[in-house]
Structure 1
Amino acid sequence: MRDTLDFLLYDWLQVQSLQDRPRFADHSRETFDAVLDTCERIAREKFAPFNRVADLEEPRFDGERVHLPASTHAALAAYVESGMLAAAQDHEQGGMQLPLTVEMAANAFFSKASVAMGGYAMLTQGNANLLMAHGTPTQQAVFAANEFSGRWFGTMCLSEPQAGSSLSDVATRAEPDGETFDADPLGPRYRLTGHKMWISGGEHEITENIVHLVLAKIPGSDGKVVPGVKGLSLFIVPKHLVDPQGQLTGERNDVSLAGLNHKLGYRGTTNCLLNFGEGRHRPLGKAGAVGYRVGRPGDGLRCMFHMMNEARIGVGLGAVMLGYAGYEASLAYARQRPQGRPLTAAGKDAAAPQRLIIEHADIKRMLLAQKSYVEGGLALALYCARLVDEQHTGSPEAAVEAQLMLEVLTPIAKSWPSEWCLEANSLAIQVLGGYGYTRDFPVEQYWRDNRLNMIHEGTHGIQALDLLGRKVVMDGGKALMALAGRINQTVQRAGQVAGLATAATALAGALGAVGAATKKAWATGEPEEALANATPYLQAFGHTVMAWIWLELALAVEGRSDDAAQGKRAAQRYFYAYELPRIAAWLSVVERREPLVREMQDGWF
């Protein structure tokens, strides 16, 4: 995997050029490589050997404490010690001012070694980054700084038992804590009551405190709650109360674990139902969990999307790396497992030696599919990270274009790897056959862990609605046009290269088909008609993006004849021969606004 990362970072994305920018001036390829080396070593020594332990010894609640394996505590202590929680932060915050592209590449090692144990760090980084964008200076100094140091970990608390993904139906309430509620140096202080479900990292004793970011509704001047998402505000709700200097006061906040969710996979990350303000504790002598508002009233969802969008790219990366782990495991197995003989006259001789299964065409097909999914997915995730670096440190014009590209690519960066790297894990099981279905080999766990990624941080259906319902049509389609411009540039370059011109023509056709389907989906202007087939649209859009990525990678190895370059050409050819033709079927139902799924009635099932 390291060779692939190096190729993507240095040969394709040219991240070494970022050192010419003031923010990254202290860096060089040597410092980037040192970060990658350190993370690769920690992941290999502290995470990978205990991935199965975290799966088998899932979190246990004894009524007072949640118990996790000692290896989980040790792995996260090593991660904290590496400084990676603050890697992209300013030097003044104890950070390295590392490009996000390099930070994400380094974190890929942890996702591959144990995505569940690494989840605590991903959530904490996202939580602290949100506070750096929307919190007050005191909130940043107290809460974000202690998260970046690893002293505290963080969560995001959106969903509720009755609401799920429908955030407009959030019922958790926040009431101002007295007439002087806005005089607290930590922020306007409220009392929260309600329940939050599916909270990853919601209870543990890895760190001395947990910083919950909670969406809740506050009353307006008339005492009534504003309905829908416009009524949502965001609150910092620590597990233990702290003072303005960031020290624990010794008082427990009224945040209680109602129960642990027992999951198919991802078992190494605690997942909780939390009760806020149930009365088990009375912090500062009153009922309700103490929370400090972040941002303005009613700005909760806008603030939270800062963390959600970052988390969506992180989820995509996690899905990629689980797929990558399965690919490497099945490739290693195929290279040493003898079975069957050639389909030739000589192969009919039962006394002839068996050949390795990697020599069978169908095994090669499954391995090529996995390679195209995981290496392409990794390229997409790092490309999005590179866009974030461009957004923050590029020229004003480049920053605007990067933002547009991120708008339309974020749903793909989350959803495409979640679907197709899960398929890669399924193919890995298939390569191993019956052995793959047992716990003697790790591929079954990779599939179980990966199955979550189509669900959390916005389900597949929500990503589809976001893409077709908002991202490709907003501002007159500016984001879609920005992406189309980048793809057309690749088409023009590839059209001049022998061996890639046919692929360039196919990609141009796919892009045109997506554009035509987008217009036809919205031809009547009726959202119910346009969005009924949003998921097939998402699949076709994602495959078009991935075809573009693979053509870019094929261009990047042009002129090379080594095995790695030949492998990338083969994966590009596979994707265009076996995968890109799928988009015609997906887009056909979008174009004609196929009414079946809208008209289907309950009783007919």
Structure 2
Amino acid sequence: MRQTLDFLLNDWLKVEALNQRERFADHSSETFGAVLDTSERIAREKFAPFNRLVDTEEPHFDGDKVHLPAATKAAMDAFVESGLLAAAQDYDLGGMQLPCVIEMAAKTFFSKASVALSGYPMLTKGNANLLMAHGTDRQREVFAANEFSGRWFGTMCLSEPQAGSSLSDIATRAEPDGDDAFADVLGPRYRLKGNKMWISGGEHELSENIIHLVLAKIPGPDGKTLPGTKGISLFIVPKKLVNATGELTGERNDVSLAGLNHKLGYRGTTNCLLNFGEGRFKPGGKAGAVGYLVGQPGDGLKCMFHMMNEARIGVGLGAVMLGYAGYEASLEYARQRPQGRPIGPSGKDSSQAQRPIIEHADVRRMLLAQKSFVEGGLALSLFCARLVDEEHTGDEASATEAKLLLEVLTPIAKSWPSEWCLEANSLAIQVLGGYGYTRDFPVEQYWRDNRLNMIHEGTHGIQGLDLLGRKVVMNGGNALMALAGRINATVQQALQQPALAEQANQLAAAMARVGRATKAAWATGNPEEALANATLYLQAFGHLVLAWVWLDLSLCATGENDFARGKQAAAKYFFAYELPKLAAWLEPVERRDGLCREIEDGWF
């Protein structure tokens, strides 16, 4: 994997050029390499050996505390000591001022070693990054800084038992905490009451404190909350109360664990139902969890989407690395497992030795599919991270383009790896046959862990609605046109190389087909008709993007060595076996097929 990672960063994304920018001027290819070396070592020593342990020894709650294997704490301590929580932050925050693309590259090792263990720091970084973007100076100093140092960990609390993805239906309320509510130095102070479900990292003893970012509605003068998403605000709700300088007061906030969810995968990450303001703890002598407003009232979703969009790229990368782990495990198995004999003119010769299963064409097909999915998905994830650097440190024109590209690619960066790197895990099991279905080999756990990624941070259906319903049509389709410009540039380059001309023409035709389908879907202007097949559109759009990525990679992966030939073969596979699926997915989109929208309940 490291060779592929280095190729993507250095040969394709040209990350060393970032060192010419003021923010990254202290860095070099050597410092980037050192960060990756350190991450790889910690992941290998502290995460990977315990991935099975944290899967089999699930978190349990004794009514007072959540208990986790000691290896979980050791892994978190090693991660904190490395300074990687603050890797992309300013020096005065204890950070390294690393580019986002290098930070994400470092994350690959941890997600591959144990995606469940890596969930705690991922959530903490996302939480702190949100506060850096939307919090007050004091909120940054007290909450974000302590998260970046690893003293405290963080969560995001959106969903509720009755409202999963439907955030407009959340019922958690936040009421001003007395007459002096707007005088608190940590921000306007409220009391929250409600329940939050599916909260990863919601309770543990891994850090001194847990900082919850909670969506809740503020009631109006009549005591009623605004309908829909208008009244949703965002609050900092610490597990343990702190003072204005970030020291613990010794008082427990009114946040309590109602129970742990028992999951198919990701078992090493606690997943919680949390009660806010049930009265088990009474800070200041009264019920209600103390929370501090982030931003302005009613801006909760705008603030939270800062963390959610970052988390969506992170989820996609996690899915990639689970697929990558399965690919490598099945590749190793296929090279060692003898079964079957060559077929000659008169059939099989049982007197000959069995051959490794990697010599069978169908096994090679499954391995090549995995390679095209996981290496293409890794390239996409790192490309999106490189766009984040461009948006924040590039010139005005490149920053504007990067922002547009991120708008349209974020749904793909989350959803495509979540589906197709899961398929890679399924193929890994198939390569191992019956052994793959047992717990004697790791590939079944990789599949179980990866199955969550199609759900959390927005299901496929939600990503499809976001892409077709908003991203490709907003601002006159500017984001879609920005992507089309990039794809066209790659097509024109590839047309100059005879070996890539056929793929270039395929990609150009696929892009034209997606453009026609986009217009056809919205031809009547009726959202119900346009979006009925949004998930199919998402799948087709994702395959278009990945075909572009593979063609662009093919322009860099030149040479006659095994590494380059492997990349070229993976690209050929994707164009020959995967891209043709795009047409079948787009047909119902183009004709605005109404079957799934019109079928009645009773017909099932």
TM-score (norm 1): 0.99
Which residue of structure 2 aligns with residue 288 of structure 1? 288
Q: Could you say what secondary structure the match of 2:525 adopts? A: coil
Question: Equivalent residue for 1:327?
Answer: 327
Which residue in 2 is equivalent to 1:573?
572
Q: CA deviation at 1:225?
A: 1.2
Q: Could you say which residue in structure 1 is the equivalent of 2:463?
A: 463
* 1:358-391 alpha-carbon deviations (Å, 9 max, x no partner): 0000000000000000000000000000000000
Could you report, residue by residue, the CA deviation over 1:236-292 in whole angstroms, capped at 9, with x for unpaired residues? Answer: 000000001100000000000000000000000000000000000110112100000
8 Å Cα contact 2:342/2:349 also seen in 1: no
CA distance, structure 2, for counterparts of residue 532 and residue 486 of structure 1: 29
Residue deviations 1:339-362 (CA, integer Å, cap 9, x gap): 001122375221111111000000
2:473 maps to: 473
Three-state SS of the structure 2 residue aligned to 1:290 is strand
Aligned to 2:408: 408
For 1:563, the equivalent position in structure 2 comes to 562
User: 1 CA distance for matches of 2:243 and 2:54?
Assistant: 34
Amino acid across the alignment from 2:262: H
**C-alpha offsets along residues 15-41 of structure 1, whole Å, 9 cap, x if unaligned?**
000000000000000000000000000
In 1, Cα distance between the equivalents of 2:155 and 2:459? 19
Amino acid of the structure 2 residue aligned with 1:362: D
Alpha-carbon distance in 1 for matches of 2:112, 2:592: 40
1:198-217 superposed matches below 5 A: 198-217=198-217
| Helix, strand or coil at the partner of 2:97 | coil
In the alignment, what sits opposite 1:372?
A: 372
Q: Give the Cα separation in 1 of the matches to 2:244 and 2:70.
A: 32
1:578 & 1:47 partners in 2: Cα distance? 35
Contact 2:120/2:269, CA 8 A, preserved across alignment: yes
Which position in structure 1 is the counterpart of 2:184?
Answer: 184
Structure 1 residue matching 2:392: 3-state secondary structure: helix
The answer to whether the 8 Å contact 1:341/1:347 transfers is: no
Residue of structure 2 in register with 1:496 after alignment = 496
Residues 279-306 of structure 1: per-residue CA shift (max 9 Å, x gap): 0011011210000000000000000000
Cα drift, residue 226 of structure 1: 1.3
Match of residue 145 from structure 1 = 145
Q: 1:281 & 1:435 partners in 2: Cα distance?
A: 50
Partners of 2:138 and 2:381 in 1: CA distance: 33
- Whole-Å separation in 1 of the counterparts to 2:283 and 2:347: 77
Structure 2 CA distance for aligned equivalents of residues 340 and 192 of structure 1: 65
In structure 1, list runs of 5 or more residues that go unmatched.
none
Does the alignment pair 1:118 with 2:118? yes
Conserved 8 A contact 2:115-2:322: yes
RMSD, aligned α-carbons: 0.6
TM-superposition CA deviations, 1:437-482 (whole Å, max 9, x none): 0000000000000000000000110000000000000001000000
**Cα distance in 1 between the residues matched to 2:347 and 2:274:** 62
Tell me if the contact between 1:235 and 1:292 (Cα under 8 Å) persists in the aligned partners.
yes
Q: CA offset at residue 222 of structure 1?
A: 4.0
Q: How does 1:499-538 map to 2 (within 5 A)?
A: 499-538=499-538
Residues 190 and 290, structure 1, Cα contact 8 Å, conserved in 2: yes
Give, in whole Å, the separation in 2 of the partners of 1:231 and 1:317: 33
Residues 501-558 of structure 1, C-alpha deviation per residue, up to 9 Å, x if partnerless? 0000000000000000000000011111000000000000000000000001000113
Contact 2:90 2:97 in 1 (8 A): yes
Matched residue count: 604
The Cα of 1:599 is off from its aligned counterpart by 1.0
Distance 2:516 2:343 in 1: 45
How many Å separate the matches in 2 of 1:419 and 1:562?
31
Contact 2:343–2:349 (Cα < 8 Å) also in 1: no
Alignment correspondent of 1:266: 266
Deviation of 1:400 after TM superposition, in Å, equals 0.6
3-state SS, counterpart of residue 237 of structure 2? strand
Contact 1:120 1:269 in 2 (8 A): yes
Match for residue 60 of structure 2? 60
The CA deviation at 1:562 is 1.0
Alpha carbons 2:464, 2:535 under 8 Å: kept: yes
User: Does the CA-based 8 Å contact 1:87-1:103 persist in structure 2?
Assistant: yes
Q: Which amino acid aligns with 2:47?
A: F
SS of residue matched to 1:241: strand
TM-score by length of 2: 1.00
Distance in 1, Cα, partners of 2:418 & 2:491? 27
Tell whether the 8 Å contact from 1:341 to 1:355 is kept in structure 2 after alignment. Answer: yes
Q: Is 1:131 equivalent to 2:120 in the alignment?
A: no
Residues 90-145 of structure 1 show CA distances to partners (whole Å, capped at 9, x for unaligned) of 00100000000000000100000000000000000000000000000000000000
Structure 1 Cα separation of the partners of residues 96 and 256 of structure 2: 36
SS in 1 for 2:544: helix
CA distance in 2, matches of 1:577, 1:115: 32
SS of residue paired to 2:114:
helix
CA distance in 1, matches of 2:257, 2:219: 26
Distance 1:181 1:516, change over 3 A: same
Q: Segments of 4+ in structure 1 off by > 4 A? A: none
How far off its partner does 1:179 sit? 1.0
Counterpart Cα distance in 1 of 2:574 and 2:286? 61
Which AA in structure 1 matches 2:193?
T
In structure 1, distance between residues paired with 2:127 and 2:52: 27
* Deviation per residue, 1:37-70 (Å, 9 max, x gap): 0000000000000000000001000110100000
Q: Is residue 242 from structure 1 mapped to residue 242 from structure 2 by the alignment?
A: yes
Q: What one-letter code is carried by the residue in structure 2 that aligns with 1:522?
A: W
Give the Cα–Cα distance (whole angstroms) in 1 for the partners of residues 345 and 142 of structure 2.
Answer: 75
Contact 2:88–2:100 (8 Å) recurs in 1: yes
Tell me the amino acid that sits aligned with residue 159 of structure 2. S
Look up the match of 2:593.
594
CA distance in 1, matches of 2:321, 2:271: 21
Distance across 1 between alignment mates of 2:309 and 2:347: 54
- The separation in 2 between residues aligned to 1:292 and 1:286, in whole angstroms, is 16
> Could you say which residue in structure 1 is the equivalent of 2:442?
442
Does the Cα contact within 8 Å between 1:86 and 1:96 map onto a contact in 2?
yes
- Which residue matches 1:37? 37
| Structure 1 Cα separation of the partners of residues 485 and 75 of structure 2 | 44
SS in 1 for 2:257: strand
Return the alpha-carbon distance in structure 1 between the equivalents of residues 135 and 511 of structure 2: 41
Change (3 A) 1:339 1:589: same
Q: How many Å separate the matches in 2 of 1:223 and 1:263?
A: 38
- CA distance in 1 between partners of 2:249 and 2:66 (Å): 22
Which SS does the other structure have where 2:343 is aligned? coil
Aligned to 1:257: 257
Could you tell me how far apart the structure 1 residues matched to 2:504 and 2:48 are? Answer: 40
1:551-587, Cα deviation, whole Å (9 max, x unpaired) = 01000113x1111100000000000000000000000
2:260–2:271 Cα contact (<8 Å) kept: yes
Residue 220 of structure 1: how far off its partner (Å): 2.4
Alignment check: 8 A CA contact 1:242 1:249 kept: yes
Which amino acid is the alignment partner of residue 92 of structure 2? E
How many Å separate the matches in 2 of 1:479 and 1:346? 59
CA distance in 1: counterparts of 2:125 and 2:473, whole angstroms: 31
Mapped contact 1:255–1:274 kept (Cα < 8 A): yes
Q: Which ranges in structure 2 are unaligned for 5 or more consecutive residues?
A: none
Please state whether the residue corresponding to 2:463 is helix, strand or coil.
Answer: helix
| Contact preservation (8 Å) 2:173, 2:192 | yes
1: distance between equivalents of 2:366 and 2:473? 36
CA contact under 8 A between 2:39 and 2:110: conserved in structure 1?
yes
Measure the CA separation in 2 of the matches of 1:38 and 1:346. 56
The secondary structure found in structure 1 opposite 2:342 is coil
Which residue of structure 1 lines up, in the alignment, with residue 342 of structure 2? Answer: 342
How many percent of aligned residue pairs carry the same amino acid?
A: 77
SS state at 1:335 partner:
helix
